[in-house]
Amino acid sequence: IPYMMEEYIKKGYSDFVISSSGNAALAALKFVQDCNKTNTKITLKIFIGKNIAKNKLSSIQSEILNLKSEILVEQVDNPKQSAFLEAKNNDKIINLRQSTDDLALEGYKTLADELEEIDNLEAIFIPTSSGTTAQALGNLGAQIHVVQTTACHPIAEFFSPYQVREHLSRFHIGSEIERGSKPHPNPPLQGEGKSIAGAIVDKIAHRKEKIIEIIKNSHGSGWIVTDEEIQNAIKLVKETINIDISPNSALSIAGLQKATQNGWTWSGPVACLITGK
The DSSP output letter for 157 is G
pLDDT at 111 over 60: yes
Terminal-residue alpha carbon distance, the chain: 16
pLDDT tens across 249-268, in order? 999 999 999 999 999 999 99
Please name each of the domains of the chain with its CATH number. Answer: 2-95 (3.40.50.1100), 108-272 (3.40.50.1100)
Per-residue pLDDT, averaged over 107-132, amounts to: 96
0.85 exceeded by pTM: no
Using DSSP, state whether 174 is helix, strand or coil.
helix
Beta bridge partners of 197: none
pLDDT at 161: 53
pLDDT tens across 185-194, in order? 444 454 557 8
Q: What is the Rg, in whole angstroms, of the alpha carbon atoms belonging to the chain?
A: 19
